[in-house]
Amino acid sequence: MAATKTYEYSVRDRAGKLASGKLDAPNEAVLVTKLKAMGYAPVSVRESGGGLNKDIELPFGNGVKLKDLAIMSRQFATMINSGLSLLRALTILADQTDNKKLARTLGEVRGEVETGVSLSASLAKHPEVFPPLMINMIRAGEVGGFLDAVLLQIAENYEAEVKLRNKVKSAMTYPVVVFVIAILAVIGMLLFIVPIFSTMFADLGGELPAPTKVLVWLSAALKVTAIPIAVLIVVAVAVWGRVKHLEKVRNVVDPLSLKMPVFGQLVQKIALSRFARNLGTMISSGVPILQALDIVADTTGNMVLARAIRDVQQSVRQGESLAGPLNNHPVFPSMVVQMLAVGEDTGAMDTMLHKISEFYDQEVEATTEALTSLIEPLMIAFLGAIVGAMIVALYMPIFSVFTLIE
C-alpha cells in the first residue's frame, strides 16, 4: 500500500469562495483529482510541514532575495509577452519558483487576483516580500498597458543591483577571510600552544622576556574571558541585526560611512548608482516624478542621500527643477548635477540617469579591484606579522634554556 502524506490545500468552491484545509494522499496529483471530484477548484497545494519536513524560516531577513525577484520578474515578463493570461502566469511562477516563501506568496497573490484585485494591489499586501519600487512600477504598467515592458525593466534593474552587490562581495571576500583566519590563528595559539610553553618556562625558572610575559598574560586572560567574549559577540551581532535599520542608528552610521578614509568613496558611488538606476527605471516606467523620488529616497541605502532626495522632492513640488536643488548637497558630485540638468533640458531624464548609473557601476568595479589589489598584500603582511610576532615571543626564552639548565 502506497504511503500517504498530509497536504495543505487552498481551493475555491462553486460560489467562488476561498477555502483551505488538510487531506492525506499518496501524491499531489491524487490530491488534486480528489479535490476536483469534490467540486473544488484547487488554487495551491503543498505538503504539510511537520517534524523534519517542516519549513524552517530564519529570524533574520524575509527569505526572499533580490536575485529571486529578478528571476521571477524576467520569467513573468516572458510569459505575459508570450500571451499567457495573468492567472496562468502566476500559477506557473508559484509552481516553479525555488524560493518557498516567494512561491507561497505568489500563490496568495494569484488567489487575490482571481477575485478581481489588481496585481499591484495584491503585491502591496505583501510588503515584506515585494519592495515599493516594484509595486509602483507594476501599477504604472497596469495603467499604461505595458506590464510586460515594466516587468523587463524591473528584472534588468534588479539584475544590475545583484551584479553590483556581487562585485563588492567578491572583492571583500578575500580580506575578510584572511582577517578571520588571523583571528582564529591568534586564538588557537593563545588557548592551546602558549600554555604548553608557559608550563615549560615555569619549570625552568628564570626571568621571561617582556614580549613573552605579555603573551602568557593574554593566554591566561583569554582562558577566563573566551566564553563571555563569544557570548558578547553573538549578542552584539543579533542586536545589530535588529537595530541597524532604525532611523536613529542610521543617522549616526551612514554619515560616518561616507567619511571613511578609503571605503567612504565606495559607499558613496554605490548609493549614487542605486539612486540613478532606480529613479531612471521608475521615470521610464511612467511613475510620477514626486512619487518616484519618495520611493527612491528609501532605496538608496544611505540616510545622507535620502535626506538630500527629500529636500529635492520638496523643491520639485514647489515647481523648481530637479538638478538645481542638488547643488546644495555635496553628496551629489557636480557631474551628476550637470548630467541631470542636460537630461531635463533635452527631455531624456531617464536615459541620462541610466548613463549615470552605468558610469558609477564601472567606478565601483574599478574601485573594488583597486582595493582588492591593495588590501591583499596588506592582509598577508598583517597575518604574517601577527603570527610571526607570537612565534618570536614564544621562542625568545628558548635561546637562554641552556643557561637556565646550567
Decide: 178 and 321 in contact? Cβ < 8 Å. no
246: left (phi over 0), alpha (psi -120 to 50) or beta: beta
User: Using CB atoms within 10 A of its CB, is residue 162 exposed (0-12), middle (13-18) or buried (19+)?
Assistant: middle
Decide: 277 and 353 in contact? Cβ < 8 Å. yes
- Sequential pLDDT tens for the chain (406 residues): 446 677 777 776 666 666 777 777 777 777 777 777 777 777 777 776 543 333 333 333 447 888 888 888 888 888 888 888 888 888 888 888 888 888 888 888 888 888 888 888 888 888 888 888 788 888 878 877 778 888 888 888 888 888 888 877 877 787 788 888 888 888 888 888 888 877 777 766 667 778 888 888 888 888 888 888 889 989 998 888 788 777 788 888 888 888 888 788 888 888 888 888 888 888 887 888 888 888 888 777 788 888 888 888 888 888 887 777 888 888 888 888 888 888 888 888 888 998 998 898 888 888 887 877 777 788 788 888 888 888 888 777 776 655 555 5
Q: Write down how long the chain is.
A: 406
Compute the distance between CA of residue 51 and CA of residue 32 in angstroms, rounded to an integer: 24
Question: Does an H or E element contain 47, and which?
Answer: strand 41-47
Helix (H, G, I), strand (E, B) or coil at 12: strand
Decide: 258 and 268 in contact? Cβ < 8 Å. yes
In the chain, count H helices and then E strands.
Answer: 17, 3
Q: How many angstroms separate the first and last alpha carbons of the chain?
A: 84
CA proximity to 272, closest of 330, 199, 320, 220: 330
